Chain A
Amino acid sequence: MSAQEVLGAGGLIAGYGEMQILHGVGVRLSAGEIVTVIGPNGSGKSTLLKTLVGLIRPSAGRILLSGQEITATSTRDRLRAGLGYVPQVRNVFATMTVEENLRMGLFALPGAVRERQEAVREILPTLNDYWSARAGKLSGGQQQIVALGRALMASPKVLLLDEPSAGLSPKATDEVFRHIRAISDRQGAAVLLVEQNAHKALAISDRCYVLAEGRNRLDGDAASIAGNPEVGRIYLGAGDGSQKA
C-alpha cells in the first residue's frame, strides 16, 4: 500500500446468496483522486461498491481503508472509519426535508450538525435553493445533490457513488458531475464512481477500472481508457452494446 493510498481492495469474491458476481476484483484509490469503474450491465460494478461499504460480505478478499483492515466490519463502522456511500436512484429519504436528509448523514458519526451542514452547503451551494423542501418532491438531479450532501456530512475520506447520473437528463448529469469534481477538489475526498455514462464520467476522472463478468479487465488513466478500442469491444462482447465508451 502506497503512502497516499486511502482505499485498497483485492481478490474480492462476493455476490447474492449462491449467485457469485465478483470473481476476485480489486481497486485502489489515492487521496483526492476520482476513479471511475465502468463495464457492461452485470459486470459487478454496483456489487463492488456494496461490498466495499459492507452491505454485501465477501467470501474472500481484503479491504483496507487508510491501512486498516475493514473487511469484516459493519457498514456503520466503515462509515465511521471514513467511507461515504450514495446508492443508485431513489437514494434520499423522500418524506424528509433536505435539511433532515443531511442530518441523517451523521447517524453513524454523531457530530456538530449545524457546522457540518454549513460546510456541505458551501461545497454544494445549490442545496440552499431547496433547503426546506421535501426531498421526494425534488427533481432527480436535485435529489442526487441531496444524496451527495448527505454522504459528505461525515467528512468521508472516500466517497463511493453508484451511478449518480442514472435517470438524469444530460443537463442534470453535467450538473451532478460538476459537483462531484467540486467535492473532490474542495473536500479532498477520493471518489470511486460507478457509471454507465462512461464518456462524461471519464471526463472528470483521473483513473478508470474496466470490469467485465465480475473481473478486472483493464485499468489506467482516464484519458487512455477513453481512447482504448478494447473498451468498446468489452461492452459489445459482454454488455448490451448500447454503452458509450
Chain B
Amino acid sequence: MVAYLVAILIFAMIYGFVALGLNIQWGLTGLINLGQVAFFAIGAYAFALATHAGMPLLAALVLATLVSGAFGGAVALFTPRLREDYLAIVTLGFSEFIRLIFLNEKWLAGGPDGIAAIPRPPTIPGLDTETSFLVVSAALVGLAFWFSQRLARFPIGRTLRAIREDETVVASVGKPTLAYKSQAFILGAALAGIGGAFFASYLTYISPDMFGPNVSIYVLAAVLLGTQGSSLGTLAGTAVVAALLEGTRLLKDYITIVDGVQLAALRLMALGLALMVIVVIRYRTTRSP
C-alpha cells in the first residue's frame, strides 16, 4: 500500500513538470496547447537515447530539456500569428505527428517496441529506490515550482498575463508580443521535457503508446483544476488528477459488481465527468465573454 502511494506521488511529480509547463503556456500566457504530450515524449525519448549513447544522467536530463524546448521553439516559430483555437488544433496535430514518428521510425527509437533499460538515478543512501526517486523528483519539481513562481512575479510574468488578457494592449506599448509568446511556449515545452526524462527513467521503458493525446488532456485537467496562472494550484490539480487516475485502481478491491476492464473504463469516464463539472462550475462566471 505504501509502495503504491509512493508510486502515485512519483507520477504526480512527473506530471507536475508537464502541468507547470502548460501553466506557463496557457495559465499565464493564454496559449492553448492541446499537444503538451509531444514535448513530454520528446523529453522522454531524448533522455533514453542519450543515456543509451553513454551520456551521464544529468547531461541527458539537460539535453532532454533543451531538445524539448527547441521543439517548442519550432512550433512557436511556425504558429506565431495563429488564433488560440487554431493553435490548439495545430498542437494536437503536432503531438500525434511526434507519436507516429516514434511509432514508425524504428531506426530512431525502436518503433512500437520502444526503448528499454533506461537507467535510473543512483539511490540516495539510506532510502529504497522508490523513495529515493520520489525525493529526487520532488526536489526538482520544487525547483520548477520556484522558477514558475519567480517567473510569474517578474516583469516578464506580468507581461505574459497582459498578453493573455489582451495582446493589442501589450503591443501598443511597443512590447514584442511574438517574442514573449515564443519564450512562454519554449519554457513550457522544456518543463514538459524534464517530466518526460523523469518518466522514462522511472519506468525504465518507454513506447509510443504511452504518449497518446489522453496525457495532454490529463495535464490540461490538472491545470484547469487550479486557479489560472497559479503554480501552486497547478501542482494541487496534478495531485488530484493523479489520485483520480491511479488511486481509483484500488477500488477494484471494493467494487465487485464490475470487472477490471469495466472499472478501467469507468475510471476514465469519472475523470471526464469531473473535468466537465469543474469547467462548468469554476469557469461559469470568471471566463464569460
Which positions in A face B, CB cutoff 8 Å? 53, 55, 74-76, 79-80, 85-87, 90-96, 104-105, 107-109, 150-151
Contact = CB atoms under 8 A, between A and B. Distances in A.
A76 B176 contact: yes
Contacts of B174: 74-76, 79-80, 107-109
Interface stretch (B37-45, B143-151, B158-166): B158-166
A106 to B, nearest CB: 8
Interface string B155-175: 000100110011011011111
A96 B268 CA distance: 41
B158 A95 contact: yes
Going nearest first, the 6 A-B pairs with the smallest beta carbon separation are A108-B174, A76-B174, A79-B174, A87-B168, A107-B173, A85-B172
A18 to B, nearest CB: 13
Contact of B173 (A94, A95, A150): A150
Contacts of A92: 169
Given A95-B158, A95-B162, A96-B158, A90 B173 contact: no
B172 A86 contact: yes
Given A75-B174, A76-B174, A107-B175, A95 B161 contact: yes
Q: What secondary structure prevails in chain A residues at the interface with B?
A: loop
Nearest to A87: B168
Contacts of A79: 173-174
B165 A90 contact: yes
A149 to B, nearest CB: 12
Nearest to B166: A90
Contacts of B175: 76, 107
Among B158, B161, B162, B168, find the residue whose CB has the most chain A CB atoms closer than 10 A. B168
Interface of B: 158, 161-162, 165-166, 168-169, 171-176
A185 B162 CA distance: 32
A107 B174 CA distance: 7
Given A95-B161, A95-B162, A95-B165, A55 B171 contact: yes
22 contacts: A55-B168, A55-B171, A74-B176, A75-B174, A76-B175, A76-B176, A79-B173, A80-B174, A85-B172, A87-B166, A87-B172, A90-B165, A90-B166, A91-B168, A94-B162, A94-B165, A95-B165, A96-B158, A96-B162, A104-B173, A107-B173, A151-B172
B162 to A, nearest CB: 5
A104 B170 CA distance: 9
Contacts of B169: 87, 90-93
Contacts of B165: 90, 93-95
Given A86-B172, A91-B169, A95-B165, 15 more contacts: A55-B171, A74-B174, A74-B176, A75-B172, A76-B175, A76-B176, A85-B172, A87-B166, A90-B165, A90-B169, A91-B168, A91-B172, A95-B162, A105-B173, A107-B174
B172 A53 contact: yes
Contacts of B176: 74, 76
A90 B167 CA distance: 10
Contact of B171 (A75, A95, A150): A75
Contacts of B173: 79, 104-105, 107-108, 150
A95 B159 CA distance: 10
Contacts of A105: 173
A85 B168 CA distance: 10
Nearest to A89: B166
A104 B171 CA distance: 11
B228 to A, nearest CB: 12
A87 B172 CA distance: 7
Contacts of A74: 174, 176
A34 B174 CA distance: 23
Among B158, B166, B173, find the residue whose CB has the most chain A CB atoms closer than 10 A. B173
Nearest to A83: B174
Contacts of A80: 174
Nearest to A92: B169
Contacts of B162: 93-96
A91 B165 CA distance: 10
A105 B169 CA distance: 11
B100 to A, nearest CB: 30
B158 A93 contact: yes
A105 to B, nearest CB: 6
Nearest to A151: B172
